[in-house]
Structure 1
Amino acid sequence: MSKNTGNAAAAVERVVTQAYAVIFGPKGAERDWDTMRAMYLPGARMTAMRPDGIEICTVERYIAGKRDFLTQNGFSESTLVNRIEIYGDMAHVWSSYSGDWIEPEGNPGRTRGINSFQLRRDEEGNWRIHSLLWQVETPDLPLPTDMDATR
């Protein structure tokens, strides 16, 4: 751990909180995509692991692919539990989440899982996301008890 772990941990947690906030919004609300782009380092990858397969994309592909879904259905996602580890200029955050939206026919959609954020400090000393990997919870793969604040 670095000697400025407390300050660094708070800064890392702010980035993770902002990552959730930037995709959060009511139906019809456009997201702040420029803020999202600024949170990620150039070349960053986003990888979703779902029961129906794995999707890997850049931030730009994520925006292009999810923009309509997020604005047409509304989406809220929030942290359940964050575990932050820092070593020098790199950080890892295990972040369990819960999210919901409204399907076009009016039915509620829900998801939970774990986000794995890898961050590093950029040349200006700011923490930015290097990559994001997430796995969706399933009946066969429930959240671990220590990552489920609802239990």
Structure 2
Amino acid sequence: MRLSILAAIVALGCAAPAAAQTPPAPAIAAVPADVVSPDAIVTALYDVISGDAGVERDWDRFRSLFHSTARLMPSGVNREGVGVARSITPEEYIERNGPALMRDGFHEREIASRSERFGHMVHVWSTYDSVRSLSDPSPFMRGVNSIQLFHDGSRWWILSVYWLAETPDTPIPAAYLPAG
């Protein structure tokens, strides 16, 4: 009898909802307006990584947007023509890209967006273009960000950003470009 009670307790403990297993939030508090809606958090993401050459980014604001389990995943094609992707943490993104963003200037701008929501999950397809300075006559790059968002009952979090830059072999489909 004791063994069956112990087995039931263990089974109930293993059946706990996934939310109970969610790691704690980072120590950096977000600006409330940045995390109030899916649109707001995506806008904040673009805003915080964008700036002219010589302008330091607000990396604490950047960190505050991401769930503690978040990943960023740049993807593309290697020299052999094989698709590749790597997974990095928000901190690794800052370490790897922060110096170049400040040195060269970088503005990533959302030019089209579509999203789907189910409960506390939102998936955003965010098409972007990139310039070094807002005065540049044309972008040097375009692509699509696949952004997964999570609402914990009080705010939105970025769980992942997975992106692919446009190439001649992989043009952005019309469905992901601005209407008209």
Same fold by TM-score, threshold 0.5 exceeded? yes
Higher normalized strand content (fraction of residues): 1
Q: Is the 8 A contact 2:41 2:65 kept in 1?
A: yes
Displaced runs of 4+ in structure 1, greater than 4 A?
none
- Report how far residue 150 of structure 1 moved: 8.2
Q: Which residue of 2 aligns with 1:112?
A: 142
* Structure 2 runs not aligned, ≥5 long: 1-35, 79-83
Amino acid at match of 2:168: P
User: CA 1:109/1:12 → structure 2, altered by over 3 Å: closer, same or farther?
Assistant: closer
TM-score normalised by structure 2 residue count: 0.71
CA deviation after TM superposition for structure 1 residue 138, in Å: 0.6
> What RMSD in Å do the two structures reach over aligned CA positions?
1.9
User: Structure 1 residue aligned with 2:41, among 12, 15, 20?
Assistant: 15
1:68, 1:58 → 2: CA distance? 16
CA distance, structure 2, for counterparts of residue 66 and residue 145 of structure 1: 30
Q: 2:96 maps to which residue?
A: 65
Match status 1:31 vs 2:57: yes
Aligned counterpart, 1:6: none
* Identity level (%): 36
Aligned to 1:135: 164
Please tell me whether the aligned partners of residues 72 and 87 of structure 2 are also in contact (alpha carbons under 8 angstroms): yes
Cα distance per residue 1:67-126 (max 9 Å; x no partner): 110000000110111101111111100001000227xxxxx9711110000000125x20
Which residue of structure 2 lines up, in the alignment, with residue 91 of structure 1?
A: 122
Distance of 1:111 and 1:150 partners within structure 2: 19
1:64–1:109 Cα change, 3 Å: farther
After TM superposition, the structure 1 = structure 2 runs for residues 44-63 of structure 1, keeping only pairs within 5 Å, are: 44-52=70-78, 53-63=84-94
What is the rounded CA distance, in whole Å, between the counterparts of 2:104 and 2:169 in structure 1?
27
Q: Which residue of 1 aligns with 2:110?
A: 79
1:80/1:147 contact within 8 Å kept: no
Deviation, 1:33, is: 0.4
Higher relative contact order (CA 8 A, sep 6+): 1
TM-score (norm. length: structure 1): 0.84
Say how many residue pairs are matched: 136
AA at the equivalent of 1:86: R
Matched, 1:147 2:173: no
